Every structure is written in C-alpha cells, then in structure tokens.
Amino acid sequence: MASENEKNILVACDMPFLSAPLLSHLAAVAAGQDAVIPYSAPGMFEPLHAVYDRNCVPAIKKRLDNQERAIASFLKDVKVLYIDSAECRQYDPELRSFFNINRQPDLDAAQLLSERE
C-alpha cells in the first residue's frame, strides 16, 4: 500500500541469487496482469518472487481482514499470469533466483555457490 508504483516486484529476503534478467522479464510481461508469478518447478510457484499490481491491494486487504495470512490466498481474486520454469530458465538457466536460505545447510550451500562465482 505504501508503494507509489502501479507495478511492484516482490522478493523474499532469503533469496540471495536474484536474476535481474528474470525480474526484468516478469516486469515486461506484467501489462494487463494483476500478478506475474513464476514456477520454479512443476507445481511449485513462487509468490514471493513476483510482480504485483496495485490492483491487488483490495484483494489482499480483504484476505488479511478475514485472518487469511497465506500469501497465495488472494490470488484467486486477481488476474494472474503464471510463468513456467522453462520460460524462467531462458533468463536464469540454473533457476538460482529461487534458491532460499532457511537452515544452516542452505547458508553453507549459498556460500559455496557465491565463492564459485
């Protein structure tokens, strides 16, 4: 609600390997959509690595007012374009954008990946 922009890129704070080309692509295809959400694998969409329009605010607010806190709860109320993982790979071949750090082994793996690059 605080953003002054119509379109907003939303990413989780635990994703250290964001891909500017992938994020640019998601933003580029966002015209006419309330949300653009990529799939990291079949059946695994990434709502915390997506583009959202301000049009989503009323749907989000409605869900929050009803104590529905899951990020995906409002998606059935808005127009969503889902991007499959094959299309994502055109911009992020190893899909590192979706790597997240939840536990110590994830942090260790992230450090190794970072050192290799």
pLDDT of 103-113, one tens digit each?
Answer: 999 999 999 98
Q: Chain-wide mean pLDDT for the chain?
A: 95
Predicted pLDDT of residue 112: 93
Does the residue 1 lie in any domain? no
Number of domains in the chain: 1
Distance between CA atoms of 77 and 89, rounded to whole angstroms? Answer: 28
Phi, psi of 102 (to 5 degrees): -115, -30
Predicted pLDDT of residue 1: 84
Does the residue 2 lie in any domain? no
Does the residue 84 lie in any domain? yes
Does the residue 28 lie in any domain? yes
Expressed in angstroms, the distance from the first to the final Cα of the chain is 37
Does the residue 71 lie in any domain? yes
**Residues 48-59, mean pLDDT to the nearest whole number:** 97
Domain carrying residue 51: 7-116
Q: Beta strand 35-41 with 49-53: parallel, antiparallel or unpaired?
A: antiparallel
The C-alpha angle 38, 111, 103, rounded to 5 degrees, equals: 70
Confidence of residue 117 (pLDDT cuts 50, 70, 90): confident
Kindly report the pTM of this predicted structure: 0.91
Does the residue 24 lie in any domain? yes
Does the residue 34 lie in any domain? yes
Residue with tokens 């260790």: 108
Say which CATH number the domain at 112 has.
3.90.550.10
Question: Is pLDDT above 80 for 55?
Answer: yes
Token code pair at residue 96: 């590192």
Does the residue 56 lie in any domain? yes
